[in-house]
């Protein structure tokens, strides 16, 4: 009853919502499991990587800055007592770097946490001519995941870290890079997070025969460097209500480790419970739009590998 009430209220996104929902400690033994965590140097990614290492997994932290990534890896090794923490350097907004990263990562991979993300106040493009928020949050993870599929070893899991903000937007397959009209960083971010949820459902269908589970989730409102830097006014006004990074990352770790999360695929989770993917009818996409999204992502990332989803002709 309480969870149902919170699920329909923004209070459910806060630290209060987290604390009033039951969260048993996660103590699953992940010894022998190999995890890749993108955006792992701060906030949710860092907490996720640290917890997976604490549970015994071998963890590779993917970050953009070599010095910072190695420093965080050393801190995680020290805090968890694990020596099985490695680093890999790549900017997920660069498709060339994503391809190089995928080539360097060795099989088997059991856990892929697609967490790297940005929310930018102004529109910018990468050196490859792709809008930066879209490239980082959606296109880079689309390419990385598809390139790593053959390196996944069952029972493998892919966890896509989305946002509750995706409830406010629908996917715009004819304007994925927000070239039309005025650019709004918050809207651009939310649209990419909507795209992650759609991809989760598509990957779940495609990867079911391979025994790969795919889920997406949203962490609620967490006090992370990304929030404080990208949304300073929101951060200032809501700081007393924000979750800790550990509380925000809890469902990511639970999805990666729990038996329950392995019994289904393609769902959207918050506080360890599956949630609807739409709150408003106007955000719903058609099957044609879902297929066109895949086609556009494949074209923009120049992906033509074995992973394919039926797309409209023309």
The contacts of residue 228 (CB under 8 Å, 6+ apart) are 235
Q: What one-character DSSP code corresponds to residue 125?
A: B
Q: Is residue 189 annotated as a catalytic residue, yes or no? A: yes
Name the E strands within 39-197: 58-63, 85-89, 109-114, 152-161
The contacts of residue 71 (CB under 8 Å, 6+ apart) are none
Active-site residue identified among 13, 18, 189, 303: 189
Using the CB atoms, write b or e for 141-173: b if 16+ within 10 Å. Answer: bbbbbbbbbebbeeebbbbbbbbbbbbbbbbbb
Nearest-10 crossing angle of helices 140-148, 185-207: 20
Query: Whole-angstrom Cα distance, residue 286 to residue 173?
Result: 11
Q: Determine the length of the chain.
A: 314
Query: Whole-angstrom Cα distance, residue 263 to residue 74?
Result: 34
The contacts of residue 17 (CB under 8 Å, 6+ apart) are 6, 9, 11, 220, 271
The contacts of residue 111 (CB under 8 Å, 6+ apart) are 33, 34, 35, 36, 52, 57, 156, 157, 159, 256
Query: Whole-angstrom Cα distance, residue 166 to residue 195?
Result: 8
Query: Whole-angstrom Cα distance, residue 268 to residue 274?
Result: 5
Query: Whole-angstrom Cα distance, residue 64 to residue 66?
Result: 6
| CB 142, CB 297: distance < 8 Å | yes
**What does the radius of gyration of the chain's CA atoms come to, in whole angstroms?**
18
What is the set of active-site residues?
Answer: 189
């Amino acid at each position: 009853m309480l969870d149902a009430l919170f699920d329909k209220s923004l209070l459910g996104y806060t630290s209060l919502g987290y604390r009033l929902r039951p969260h048993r400690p996660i103590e699953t033994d992940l010894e022998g499991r190999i995890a890749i965590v993108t955006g792992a140097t701060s906030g949710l990614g860092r907490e996720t990587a640290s917890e997976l290492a604490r549970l015994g997994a071998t963890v590779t932290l993917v970050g953009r800055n070599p010095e910072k990534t190695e420093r965080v890896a050393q801190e995680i090794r020290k805090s968890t007592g694990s020596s099985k923490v490695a680093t890999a350097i790549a900017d997920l907004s660069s498709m060339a770097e994503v391809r190089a990263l995928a080539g360097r990562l060795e099989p088997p991979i059991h856990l892929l946490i697609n967490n790297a993300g940005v929310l930018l106040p102004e529109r910018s493009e990468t050196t490859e001519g792709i809008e930066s928020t879209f490239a980082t949050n959606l296109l880079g993870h689309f390419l990385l995941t598809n390139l790593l599929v053959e390196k996944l070893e069952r029972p493998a899991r892919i966890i896509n870290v989305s946002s509750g903000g995706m409830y406010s937007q629908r996917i715009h397959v004819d304007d994925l890079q927000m070239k039309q009209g005025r650019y709004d960083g918050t809207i651009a971010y939310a649209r990419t997070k909507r795209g992650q949820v759609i991809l989760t459902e598509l990957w779940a269908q495609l990867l079911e025969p391979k025994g790969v589970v795919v889920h997406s989730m949203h962490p609620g409102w967490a006090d992370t460097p990304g929030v404080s830097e990208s949304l300073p006014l929101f951060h200032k006004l809501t700081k007393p209500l924000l979750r800790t990074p550990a509380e925000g990352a809890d469902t990511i770790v639970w999805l990666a480790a729990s038996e329950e999360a392995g019994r289904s695929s393609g769902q959207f989770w918050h506080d360890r419970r599956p949630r609807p993917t739409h709150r408003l009818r106007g955000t719903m996409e058609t099957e044609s739009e879902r297929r066109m999204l895949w086609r556009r992502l494949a074209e923009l990332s120049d992906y033509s590998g074995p992973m394919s989803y039926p797309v409209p002709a023309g």
